Amino acid sequence: MVDMMSILQVPSSVWFTNTRDTKSNTATIHNRFKHHLITRTIHHMPNQQTRGSVLQMINTLDICSTALKNDEASPLLGMAAKALAQLQSHSDRMTAEVVDWQDRYEQMGQLYNELARKSGDLAEENEQLLIKCEQHEVDERSLNDMLVAKIDDLADDNEKLESELESYKTLFEASPV
């Protein structure tokens, strides 16, 4: 936790100047105090960029803004606390969105892997079907060639039988019955 006493301890060099002009002197003191307060506040805050340290910074800025009785510095510190809170809220939303997109990306990766696996399976099945189809075409050509040869053989046999039949007819007609 931030030690408010160490932040508010202001060295005498901040308060005293060598100028005689009172208005200028007051403005210089005011500016030096603001610079000192901001420098000390930032110096005492943790360097981690975690949500806890941001909340700690917001809390410290709120405490500083209420502790100061200065009309100019107090609203500025309050606005800084509010801006930091808004940035943290935005950061939280963006972090949630990043996690959501990471989940979606992971799901898409899983879907892609599943589709790639299915595509590989289908390509393998397609290859097997093409081989079967080519084998059927070879078998069909072979069967067709065999049938054509058989028909040719039967046609030759038919011609021989017709020729024999004609010769028997001629013999039968020539024979005295």
Please state, for a pLDDT cut of 70, what percent of the chain lies above it. Answer: 64
Question: 0.75 exceeded by the pTM?
Answer: no
Residue carrying structure tokens 């058989």:
150
Question: What pLDDT does residue 9 have?
Answer: 46
| Amino acid present at 173 | E
Alpha carbons within 13 A on the beta-carbon side of 157: 6
- What are 112-129's pLDDT values in tens digits? 999 999 999 999 999 999
- What are 126-168's pLDDT values in tens digits? 999 999 999 999 999 999 999 999 999 999 999 999 999 998 8
Report the distance separating Cα 18 and Cα 10, nearest Å. 18
| Amino acid present at 6 | S
Question: What pLDDT does residue 87 have?
Answer: 86
Question: What pLDDT does residue 84 have?
Answer: 80
The residue extents of the domains of the chain are: 4-96
Report the distance separating Cα 123 and Cα 61, nearest Å. 65
The first and second tokens of residue 136, run together, are: 């059927």
DSSP 31-96: HHHHHHHHHHHHHHS-S--SHHHHHHHHHHHHHHHHH---TTHHHHHHHHHHHHHHHHHHHHHHHH
